[in-house]
Structures are given as C-alpha cells and as structure tokens.
Amino acid sequence: MTAPSKIELRDIEQRFGGNVALSQTSLTVQAGEFVSVVGPSGCGKSTLFNILSGILRPTAGSASIDGRDVTGRPGHVGYMLQKDLLLPWRTALENITLGAALTGKVTKEDRDEAAAMAERYGLGDFLDHFPHAMSGGMRQRVALMRTLAFAKDVMLLDEPFGALDSQTRFEMQQWLLRVWTELGSTILFVTHDVEEAVFLADRVVVMSPRPGRITEVIDVDLPRPRTLDDLTDPRFMALKRRILSLIYGAPALETA
C-alpha cells in the first residue's frame, strides 16, 4: 500500500466577500521535500499558508497531512513569519520554549531539548541573551528554533529572511539547509526572491496574480549541498529566468 503524501491540498478555493483570493488550487508535497512558493504580491501565498496551518478555513476544498484531514484545525504545523515576533522580556531559551509555555508548563525536558538543539545549531552561547542583544540573523535563528520546538515535522516559513541584508540572508539560507538536511523536515517556503527560491528548493511552485492559482511547478535539478558557486551556474540562471518569465511575462523580463 502506498503511503499518503505528507501534504495534500485539494481544490482549495478562498473567497473574501465577493473577491476570489485563491482559485482551484491543488498541491502535493512528499515527506522531506523543500518546496518554495513564489508569485506576485497578492497572489495568495500567505492565504495558502493560513489554510494549511488551520488558521483559515477555505471556502472550498480540503487540506491533509499524512492522509489526515486538517482543514480548519490548527496545531499540526510549525508556522514562522517574516518578523521574528520574539518576546523582548524572554531570553532566547525562553522564546524557544514558548510553544510549551502556551500549552502548559515548560518542563526540564523541554528546556534541555531546546538547549541541545540551540547548541547544535550555533545558538548555545546566546541562550541567556534577550532579543535586543542579538543580531537580526540570531533573532531569526531563535524564531526558527521556536518553530522547530513546536513542530519539527512540517514547517511553513513565510518570508523568514526578507528583512535581512544580503550577506546575512545567504548565511541563513545555508544554515536552514543544514537544519533541514539533518532533521528531515518537510518545508514550504514563501519568498518574493526567485534566486532564494531556486537556491533552497527541490521544487518551485509559481503562482499567478489574483485570483491566485498554481501556474507551474518546476523541479530544481541542482545537486546538493548547494554552494555559492550554484548562483552563477548556467542551470541555476536558466531556472531563474524561466520563473521570472512566468511571474512577469517575457516582455517585462526583456525590458527589466
């Protein structure tokens, strides 16, 4: 018997009043995949995440994880936004264990697991630091550790590196790929940066302008691990050009 897909969105449609935000959108993601989602502003990328996370119940269609219907049922995925949303009065360790604090008492086991994970991924020396004493990259690492502590299995990352400078952003991309490789999580990653989408993903989902729908799903046939050299590889550049042409159209690409 074939195992169910990790994530399956079936004929999702979302209306807000008389406006269609998402139109007949379906997507299947296998366990351990890293899938990037790109498209113009307002195409419904974040709406798709809100539906999959259970925050928003779609007008039509369904969402499932491991074959179980999770439509309109939160608590099955980790969800990280662009802003780190760290609580300024909590240390890094206390922010990482926030999920446990919100659902009950933080145990010694919770703290030990969070500390071990932070140590493994370069945050061991910052566990007692408050957010104001950390760099933007460090804050994003803490926010991702908090997401991992809540749900390592499926993570929805919505523009998590969008506010970082280019150098820090690339460092965070490499760091995220290391974490993903070692943990085997399934990741859906929204970004406006096509280069970032290609660099990180196994597949790139390209969405159309509103009403949003999936225009094409593109396989990224670049070997892993990815390095700085990949950014100038002809195959990488060809994928980037193809995705840009889908988003903006060939005439817009030629005049850019």
If one compares 146 and 84, the residue with the highest pLDDT of the two is 146
> Apex CA 93: angle with CA 112 and CA 174, to 5°?
95
Question: Tokens at residue 127, please?
Answer: 């566990």
Average pLDDT over residues 19-40: 91
Per mean pLDDT, which range of 15-19, 65-69, 241-245 is the poorest?
Answer: 15-19
Q: How far apart are CA 179 and CA 120, in angstroms?
A: 9
What count of residues does the chain have?
A: 256
Mean pLDDT on 10-19? 88
pLDDT of res. 103:
66
Judging by DSSP bridges, how do beta strands 186-190 and 154-158 pair with one another?
A: parallel
**Within 13 A of 15's CA, how many CA atoms are on the CB side?**
6
Identify any residues that bridge with 65 across adjacent strands, giving them in sequence order: 7, 68
pLDDT value at position 40? 85
Q: State the residue for tokens 């159209």.
A: 249
Provide the mean pLDDT of the chain. 85
**Predicted pLDDT at 253:** 45
CB 206 within 8 A of CB 215: yes
Which pLDDT belongs to residue 151? 67
Contact 32, 185 (CB under 8 A): yes
CA distances from 54 to 29, 73, 153, 177, 221 (A): 17, 4, 16, 26, 32
The vertex-35 CA angle with 75 and 8, nearest 5°, equals 55
Say what the pLDDT of residue 100 is: 65
- Predicted confidence band of residue 223 (pLDDT cuts 50, 70, 90): very high
pLDDT, position 222: 93
Per-residue model confidence (pLDDT) at position 94: 83
Residue 219 CA to residue 157 CA, distance in Å, equals 19
Q: Which of 83-87, 105-109, 171-175, 192-196 has the highest mean pLDDT?
A: 192-196
The pLDDT tens digits for 128-185 are 888 888 888 888 888 888 887 776 789 899 888 887 888 888 888 998 898 899 888 9
- CA–CA distance, 88 with 232 (Å, rounded to integer): 40
pLDDT > 70: percent of the chain: 92
Average pLDDT over residues 63-73: 91
Per DSSP, the three-state class of 84 is coil
Residue 217 · residue 39 · CB < 8 Å: no
Query: Is the separation of the CB atoms in 126 and 138 below 8 Å?
Result: yes
116 vs 106 pLDDT, higher one: 116
- The DSSP secondary structure of 182-231, one letter per residue, reads HHT-EEEEE-S-HHHHHHH-SEEEEEPSSSB-EEEEEE----SS--GGGG
When comparing pLDDT for 71 and 74, which is higher? Answer: 71
Residue 206 burial (CB count, 10 A): 22
Q: Phi/psi at 114 (nearest 5 deg)?
A: -65, -40
pLDDT given at position 90:
84
